[in-house]
Amino acid sequence: MGRASKGRATTSAAPVIILVRPQLGENIGMAARAMLNCGLSSLRLVKPRDGWPNPKAQRAASGADVVLDKARVFDSVADAVGDLERVVATSARNRELSQRILTARRAATEMRGWIGQGDRTGILFGPERTGLENDDMVHADTVLSIPLNPQFSSLNVAQAVLLVAYEWAAAGEGTPAERMSDHSTRPATKDELVNLFAHLERALDESGFLRNKAMRPAMVNNLRALLQRSAMTEQEVRSFHGVIKYLAKHKHGEE
């Protein structure tokens, strides 16, 4: 309520990506593609080296044109962040400036919090070769640094955008960490599994495979553990009944 009274016209539900003095059109396009993959679509450019629009960016965007079409161009970082309440600067280097440095993951969580309470938030990315300058960094209240191999930290700007946007998306992600790919069937019940075990063991008894009485209990249990572990679907249990039946038939035919 208090927030609304400040007269915010639009509250963006995701951070704005701000590319500062980007050099290669390809990287702008790839950054747009990375953004849209992660559900981000608001892009700002500060002094793009080769002007704007840039056909090379369009080509590299691979269908993420909507992001490029809406991109806004600014003359300075100050202008580009002027309407935002929170600004995060990405940096690979350690600076002499005293700033809070967050991992990409922690930054994503903090940004979710800020944006959740209505703070418009932007993330600054520097030019390809040099990264952000200190004069750019001081427009940010927080620094984001992606933890990488200390012996080889060499992301291009589009890769950096991808990782930061990915962490943003992951922080709001509802996908279960584990699921099954085939929804046309369901996990087998334990009754169905016990029936399968019985069928298999009957067939193996008849075939002579389980003829060693002393070994039988351990062999049976090992097979049961294997089949339990494989987390069969109801469909697979039915297939497996068929496998046993046909193998046993074939075997009898051979005798």
CB closer to a copy of itself out of 38 and 80: 38
Taking the complex as a whole, the smallest distance from the CB of residue 216 to a copy of itself amounts, in Å, to 25
Cα distance between residue 245 and residue 241, in whole Å? 6
Instruction: Write out the two tokens for 16.
Output: 């704005």
Pairing, β 121-125 against β 86-90? parallel
Q: Is residue 178 at the binding interface for a copy of itself, with CB under 8 A as the rule? A: yes
Q: Is residue 148 at the binding interface for a copy of itself, with CB under 8 A as the rule? A: yes
By C-alpha distance, which of 141, 167, 129, 33 is closest to 81? 141
Which residue in 163, 193, 204, 237 binds a copy of itself (CB under 8 A)? 163
Stretch 191-230 residues interacting with a copy of itself (CB under 8 A): none
Taking the complex as a whole, the smallest distance from the CB of residue 68 to a copy of itself amounts, in Å, to 13
Q: Is residue 69 at the binding interface for a copy of itself, with CB under 8 A as the rule? A: no
- Could you give the angle at the alpha carbon of 158 between the alpha carbons of 111 and 65, nearest 5°? 90
Neighbours of 14 (CB within 10 A): 19
Compute the chain's Rg from CA coordinates.
Answer: 29
Stretch 104-123 residues interacting with a copy of itself (CB under 8 A): 105-106
CB closer to a copy of itself out of 76 and 159: 159
What distance lies between CA 91 and its chain's CA centroid?
21
Phi, psi of 154 (to 5 degrees): -150, 70
Q: Site residues (CB under 8 A) for a copy of itself?
A: 33-34, 36-39, 62-64, 94-103, 105-106, 143, 146-149, 152-156, 159, 162-163, 166, 169-170, 173, 175-185, 231, 233, 235-236
